[in-house]
Amino acid sequence: MATRKSAAKSNVSADELKSYYRDMLLIRRFEEKAGQLYGMGLIGGFCHLYIGQEAVVVGLEAAAEEGDKRVTSYRDHGHMLACGMDPDGVMAELTGREGGYSKGKGGSMHMFSKEKHFYGGHGIVGAQVPIGAGLAFADKYLDNKRVTFAYFGDGAANQGQVYETFNMAALWKLPVVFVIENNQYAMGTSQQRSTSSADIYTRGEAFGIPGQVVDGMDVLAVKEAGEKAVGHCRSGKGPYILEIKTYRYRGHSMSDPAKYRTREEVQKMREEKDAIERVRHMLLDGGHATEDDLKAIDKEIKDIVNKSADFAKESPEPSLDELYTDIYADVLPQGDAIETEEA
C-alpha cells in the first residue's frame, strides 16, 4: 500500500497534505478518547463514533468556503472538529458538562455552532436532509452565494423525506450538496439487505440532480469531488449528490457488538484502505515529511485530545437552573439581524 497513488490528480501542496493528515488524525484520536471516556462511564447514552470515515469530512471541508453551512446526523463529532469547532467544547458536551457546546443539554447527538455554521447534530434519521435544503433555501433567498452540505448515511437514504427534499431542491435550484456517507451499514443492516439499488448516487436522476460516487477513503478524491459539487451549487445550477463510499471501523454506537460483519472484513479495510495511513504514506514517500515531522503532529494531536478530555472531566455539570432555560427565546436567537434587499 505504500506506493498506492491517490485517485485524484490534485496538485496538492505538502502543507495541505499535512493539514489533512492532522485534521483526520485529530478526529480519530478524539473518537478513540471519547470511546475510552464512554467506557469509564463519563459519557452516557448513545455515542456514535466516526472512526474510519475521517476523509469524508476533511475532504469536503477542504472544498468549503467561509460561510458555507453544514448539517448532519447523530454521528457528528467528526463534522464538528473538521469545521473548526473547539474539541474542548465538543468533548465537554459528550460528558454533559457546562463547558459543552450546548451547556450539556444536547449531548453527543445534538450539538450546534452558529459561529461555525454547524446546524447539528440531529437524532432523527433523515430529518437533517430537508433542514439542509432549508438552510440552502435561506441562502438563495438572501442571495449570499453560500452552499450547504447536508450529510446523511446510506440508511437515511431510504427515508421518504429525502426524496421529498430532492424534489423541492431540484425544483427550486437550491444550493445544497447532498452528501451520502455510505459506510455500508444502516446500523446492523448491510446495504445489500436494505437498499434495492446498488448506486445510491443515481437516485437523484429522477429529479434531474447530478450525482457521482467517490472513494471516501481518499481525502484528495473527496476534496476534488467536493469542489466540483460546490462549484455546481454556487453557480446556481441547483443541488448535487455525492455518494461517498466509506467505512466505519467501530459499531453503530458504543453498545453495538457488530456481529453483522466479520472481524476480517473490518481488519481488511483498516489495513488496506485506511485514509490516514494513505496520506501518511504520501507524505513520507513524497518526501514531504519525515517520521519525526509526523511524530510531532501525533504529539500535538495527543495533547489537544488529552486537554479536551481533561476539560470535559473538570468542567462542572450544568447548574440546576439550566433545566428551565432555553425553552423559549425572548429575542431572536440568531442575534445578528440579517439584512435583505427591499422586498
Partner 1 sequence: MATEVLMPALSPTMEEGTLAKWLVKEGDTVSSGDILAEIETDKATMEFEAVDEGVIGKILVAEGTEGVKVNTAIAVLLEEGESADDIGAASAPAAKEADEAPKAEEKAPAQAKAPEAPKADRSPDWPEGTEMKTQTVREALRDAMAEEMRADANVFVMGEEVAEYQGAYKVTQGLLDEFGAKRVIDTPITEHGFAGIGVGAAFGGLRPIVEFMTFNFAMQAIDQIINSAAKTLYMSGGQMGAPMVFRGPNGAAARVGAQHSQDYGAWYAHIPGLKVVQPYSAADAKGLLKQAIRDPNPVIFLENEILYGKSFEVPVLDDFTIPFGKAKIWREGTDVTIVSWGIGMTYALEAAEKLAEEGIEAEVIDLRTLRPIDYDTVIASVMKTNRCVTVEEGFPVASIGNHLSAYIMQNAFDYLDAPVINCTGKDVPMPYAANLEKLALTTTAEVMEAVKQVTYR
Report CA-CA distances (Å) from 128 to 150, 206, 217, 292. 7, 21, 24, 42
Q: Does 39 bind partner 1 (CB under 8 A)?
A: yes
Cell numbers at 290, concatenated: 519525515
Q: Does 219 bind partner 1 (CB under 8 A)?
A: no
**Of the two residues 59 and 99, which places its CB atom closer to partner 1 in the complex?**
99
Span near partner 1 by CB under 8 A; candidates 10-18, 117-125, 207-215, 282-290: 117-125
Q: Which of 30, 119, 240, 311 binds partner 1 (CB under 8 A)?
A: 119
For partner 1, the closer CB: 5 or 115: 115
Q: Is 255 in the site for partner 1 (CB under 8 A)?
A: yes
Q: Which is nearer to partner 1, 201 or 249 (CB)?
A: 249
Query: For partner 1, which stretch binds (CB under 8 A), given 55-63, 135-143, 220-228, 238-246?
Result: 135-143
| Coil, helix or strand at residue 266 | helix
Q: Tell me, what amino acid is at 216?
A: G
Whole-number minimum distance, CB 198 to partner 1, in Å?
A: 25
Which residues between 279 and 298 bind partner 1 (CB under 8 A)? Answer: none
Q: Which stretch binds partner 1 (CB under 8 A): 13-21, 39-47, 204-212, 282-290?
A: 39-47
DSSP states along 197-238? SS-GGGGGGGGT--EEEEETT-HHHHHHHHHHHHHHHHTT--
Contacting partner 1 within 49-108 (CB under 8 A) = 51, 69, 71, 100-106
Query: Residues near 283 by Cβ (< 8 Å), separated by ≥ 6?
Result: 14, 17, 18, 21, 289, 293, 294
With contacts defined by CB under 8 A, name the span among 19-27, 127-135, 212-220, 280-288 that binds partner 1. Answer: 127-135
> CB-wise, 228 or 270, nearer to partner 1?
270
Site for partner 1 contains 134 (CB under 8 A): yes
Contacting range for partner 1; rule: CB under 8 A; set: 57-65, 197-205, 225-233, 331-339: 331-339
Length of the chain: 343
Task: Report d(CA 184, CA 205) in Å as an integer.
Answer: 21
46 binds partner 1 (CB under 8 A): yes
Count CB neighbours of 28 within 10 A. 22
Please report which residue ranges of the chain form alpha helices under DSSP H: 14-39, 54-61, 77-82, 87-94, 128-142, 160-171, 191-194, 219-234, 263-273, 275-285, 291-314
8 vs 85, which CB is nearer to partner 1? Answer: 85
Q: Which three cell numbers stand for residue 332?
A: 431572536
Neighbour tally for 210: CB within 10 Å:
16
Residue-wise over 128-142: b if at least 16 C-beta within 10 A, else e? bbbbbbbbbbebbee
Helix, strand or coil for residue 182? strand
x/- contact string, 299-318, with partner 1 (CB under 8 A)?
A: --------------x-----
Minimum distance of partner 1 from residue 13's CB (angstroms): 29
* In the complex, least distance from residue 181 CB atom to partner 1, rounded to whole angstroms: 19
Closest to partner 1 by CB, 98 vs 293, is 98
